[in-house]
Amino acid sequence: MSTVTIVCIALMGILLFVLGANVSRQRAIRGAGNQAPTDPTDRLLIAIRAHGNAAEYIPTMIVLLLVCSALSDSWLVDVLAVASLVVRTTHAVGMLSAKTLAAHGPLRDVGALGTYLTGIALGVTAIVTI
């Protein structure tokens, strides 16, 4: 496995934990108030969804990167690792910088589309390198 892929995997793991810490920070700021908000402009809800979305995709991307790395030493795995890190970071920034979850922004949309495309490319790469 290349250094590039390892660093990208580590940074995605760090991103997931930073997003989780942000939820804890928002909960602490909220105090004893509503800990299960539903208002799409609520900063706690935005933090929860940014972390939840990352938790839905980052682990699968990491597993697919590990599988692809085990099956191939192609430069393509490094490209997909960097792409995974970039799109997941872009999506997180897009969500956290949004004023509301009710509207989409360009960073969020690019991050989401990039996540789908990169995830599919990782899956296809894993299959064709068997």
The pair of three-digit structure tokens given for residue 129, joined into one six-digit string: 């390198």
Domains detected in the chain: 3-128 (1.20.120.550)
Residue 11 has pLDDT above 90, yes or no: yes
Of residues 75, 53, 55, 63, the one with CA closest to residue 122: 63
Q: What is the predicted pLDDT for the residue at 47?
A: 98
What is the average pLDDT value for the chain, to the nearest integer?
A: 96
Length of the chain: 130
In whole angstroms, what is the distance from residue 42 CA to residue 114 CA? 26
Query: Do residues 82 and 11 touch, judged by C-beta distance below 8 A?
Result: no
Residue 34 has pLDDT above 90, yes or no: no
Q: What is the pTM of this model?
A: 0.94
Q: What is the pLDDT of residues 73-87, one digit of tens each?
A: 999 999 999 999 999
Here the contacts of 56-61 (C-beta below 8 Å, separation 24 or greater) are 57/88, 57/115, 57/119, 58/12, 58/13, 58/15, 58/16, 58/88, 59/16, 60/119, 61/12, 61/88, 61/115, 61/118, 61/119, 61/122
Q: Where are the beta strands (DSSP E) in 1-130?
A: none
Mean pLDDT in residue range 8-26: 98
Q: What is the predicted pLDDT for the residue at 130?
A: 85
Q: What is the predicted pLDDT for the residue at 5?
A: 98
